[in-house]
Structure 1
Amino acid sequence: MSFLVAISRSAYPDTALDNFAASPSFAMGDAQSMMWMSQLAYETNTPDKVDSILKAWQLERKGLASNDPVTSLPPHSACFVAAAGRNATIIAFSGTDPLKIEDWITDFTAARSPDGLHSGFKAALDSVWPQIVPIIQQRPAPAQQLFFTGHSLGGALAIIAAERAMREFGATATAVYTFGGPRTGGQDFFNSYTTGLGTGLGTGLGTRTFRLVHGNDVVPTVPPPLLNTFLHVGQMIQCPTDGTFADPPTMSAPNGNDPGFVDGLIQAGLADLRAFAAFRFLRSIGPRPLDMLAGILPRIVRDHVPAIYFRALGIPLR
């Protein structure tokens, strides 16, 4: 991963996961903890830094995958951090790094695979799945609770990984948290994910998946849901632009497919005009170079950056 998505070691508080409850129901402490883990997945090119942070969080690294931000192969790949402790095993995937060509290839390979998934997302998970399987299957007794999480592209990979673990070897996730995640698959994938159809388990992950959406973030609106080609899974929790997620939140039904692409663009455009008129468009939202520039980005992009999700969860980065 590159300097655009990393933050300094000092920005990771040792107490970040102290409110982690490892609950199958939505818990704000779990959401905040999963946002920290999603951010940590952006640090995979510095394993020593990852280990230092995990140790402070009373977690032990169980797996890590990284690659060069510009030149690595294969073109479809994924970065993740897996850790155990605090009564859970957590697998966190990184989102798109603007300097990683593989991420852009992954994001824009949107044709459906034979099993109805976004081809780019499926290929990215395939590249690391052999490393993830033993982490799930051999998780220690004190860390049996299983969590998947990720921001942006990482959210899509978390969704696909959770369904695959459930379908292939009956490892049903305790909960899945995504932040600004896109749609991942069609009706068959939705059925398998939501109800466990075809898994033989008689249950699914629809009510254990919480997809958080900040304001007019464009990524959760894509790929567009034309003719049910791509559907969301889980329950959406949305907050207004520059707002905060309520606790307890209002959640959509597990069969909801919002937010919509066209409506999101219209609302974001109107919000940009209001901000421009009030001279509220030049401001930083976090410590990274990407955050420093966020004030001049279109709202549909600014509402997506990790720092804005931290803020909406009541955790301003320093």
Structure 2
Amino acid sequence: MKNSLSRDRALTMATLSQLTYVAHNQGTEVVRHILKSGCPPFVQQYQKIEFLHSPRLFSSTGELACCGFVLSTPNEVAIAIRGTENLDDYFFNLLVQPNSEFIHSGFHNYVGNFWEQLQDFLLREDNGRKDIFVTGHSLGGAAATLIAKRLQEPGFKPIDPHVLETYTFGAPPVSTVELILDTPLYRFRNAGDFIPHLPKIVSVLINKIPRLRGAIANWKPNLLQELSDYCHVGSEYLIDKDYQIRQSDQPDIGNVWQWVHFSKALLPQLGVGTRNQALGAEEINNLCKDRLRHLIQTLIQTSLQEHRATKYVEKLNFGKHPPWSNPIK
């Protein structure tokens, strides 16, 4: 682990990421009390707290939900964004096409939903002299990456911090081309969490099933190529079972492929067999969607325990979890 990475800072960022789920599930006042009081070694006291809200992902009702918060002290600003609400969201996340800038359009839109609120807070609380830390777990980590990208762009004049650092935990890739950040990004993954590599794993498994591969190519011609092209930003910081952190410029491919081979037990259930050849195009499309949903949900369930935001906090704190730890997330 490089000296520039502070484990204490990483623990704080993981804790803030986990607290976004607590705010969503238990209410913002619960989290406000925790942040106002502080809870060493997990979080310090924050003087100013503002919660961010956006429409629920993939909901047609327009109902707003807490998607994170932004905090301020005399010396720094911290931005924490919540991740995915349920398993179905993972399924839809993988099906969304990249936009014209090769960014996952779902992640891009998620950030756009609360960007004005976040920008207003930064304009009020930051004067160019504060450090800024951005964090998030899972989908929230993808959003944190895109926020960091926006904050370092020349068009965002008010932000010129001494430090701009991003910490993500179990985050998926956000772009089908290499995304370059000029500021540090610390991308953490628990050793048993393979959800961050889910796009490539899904593409590998589907390519093992000729009929399913062919049906998906007819349904969404570019899907497999897009899944294969998605790539992460920077180095991965792998948290091993003994709580040690090791940096790698390449994913832990050996373990990933071992997990893929284990998952091949799924393959016989997922094929689009000859008995379905008489189905029409719409029925085949629905069958593909059902098969793909089943594949993704099964893969997620296999890895879910190590993917939880609470597990990242626990691993970074050498096995001890925070007193408010939410059993759901």
TM-score using structure 1 length: 0.67
Q: Find out whether 1:174 has 2:173 as its counterpart.
A: no
Q: Find out whether 1:127 has 2:132 as its counterpart.
A: no
Which of 208, 216, 231 is residue 192 of structure 2 equivalent to? Answer: 216
**Structure 2 residue matching 1:190: 3-state secondary structure:** coil
Which of 49, 61, 70 is residue 30 of structure 2 equivalent to? Answer: 49
Show the 5 A alignment for 1:55-74.
Answer: 55-57=36-38, 58-59=45-46, 60-65=48-53, 73-74=61-62
CA–CA separation in structure 1 for the residues paired with 2:66 and 2:95 = 14
CA–CA separation in structure 2 for the residues paired with 1:92 and 1:190 = 21
After superposition, what is the alpha-carbon deviation per residue over 1:250-292, rounded to whole angstroms, capped at 9, x for unaligned?
A: 3234xx4x255x9515247769x9xxxxxxxxxxxxxxxxxxx
Higher helix fraction (1 or 2): 2
Q: Find out whether 1:316 has 2:306 as its counterpart.
A: no
Runs of 4+ residues over 6 Å off in structure 1 = 75-78
After superposition, what is the alpha-carbon deviation per residue over 1:225-245, rounded to whole angstroms, capped at 9, x for unaligned?
A: 9687322113211023x431x
The offset of 1:68, in angstroms, is: 6.4
Q: Percent identity?
A: 23
Q: Find out whether 1:302 has 2:294 as its counterpart.
A: no
| 8 A contact 1:216–1:264 mirrored in 2 | no
Structure 1 pair 29–142 and aligned structure 2 pair: CA distance change class (3 A): farther
**Structure 2 residue matching 1:162: 3-state secondary structure:** helix
What letter corresponds to residue 34 of structure 2 in structure 1? I
The offset of 1:141, in angstroms, is: 5.2
Relative CO higher for 1 or 2, CA cutoff 8 Å, sep ≥ 6? 2
How many residues align structurally? 247
Consecutive unaligned residues of structure 1, counting only runs of 5 or more, are 1-23, 194-203, 274-296
CA–CA separation in structure 2 for the residues paired with 1:136 and 1:309 = 28
CA–CA separation in structure 2 for the residues paired with 1:87 and 1:222 = 38
The offset of 1:209, in angstroms, is: 0.7
CA–CA separation in structure 2 for the residues paired with 1:76 and 1:111 = 24
Structure 1 pair 166–303 and aligned structure 2 pair: CA distance change class (3 A): same
Greater mean deviation of Cα atoms: 228-237 or 159-168: 228-237
Q: Find out whether 1:149 has 2:135 as its counterpart.
A: yes
| 8 A contact 2:54–2:113 mirrored in 1 | no
CA RMSD, 1 decimal: 3.4
Q: Which has the larger radius of gyration?
A: 2
| 8 A contact 2:28–2:51 mirrored in 1 | no
CA–CA separation in structure 1 for the residues paired with 2:118 and 2:21 = 17
CA–CA separation in structure 2 for the residues paired with 1:55 and 1:97 = 25
CA–CA separation in structure 1 for the residues paired with 2:67 and 2:304 = 22
| 8 A contact 1:51–1:61 mirrored in 2 | yes
Instruction: Indicate the residue corresponding to 2:85 in structure 1.
Output: 97
CA–CA separation in structure 2 for the residues paired with 1:131 and 1:27 = 29
Greater mean deviation of Cα atoms: 136-145 or 29-38: 136-145
Instruction: Indicate the residue corresponding to 1:117 in structure 2.
Output: 103
CA–CA separation in structure 1 for the residues paired with 2:306 and 2:31 = 26
**Structure 1 residue matching 2:116: 3-state secondary structure:** helix
Instruction: Indicate the residue corresponding to 2:281 in structure 1.
Output: none
Instruction: Indicate the residue corresponding to 2:11 in structure 1.
Output: 32
Structure 1 pair 184–77 and aligned structure 2 pair: CA distance change class (3 A): farther
Consecutive unaligned residues of structure 2, counting only runs of 5 or more, are 39-44, 204-224, 266-299, 324-329
CA–CA separation in structure 1 for the residues paired with 2:58 and 2:142 = 22
What letter corresponds to residue 48 of structure 1 in structure 2? E
Greater mean deviation of Cα atoms: 74-83 or 145-154: 74-83
Instruction: Indicate the residue corresponding to 1:264 in structure 2.
Output: 256
Structure 1 pair 104–232 and aligned structure 2 pair: CA distance change class (3 A): closer
TM-score using structure 2 length: 0.65
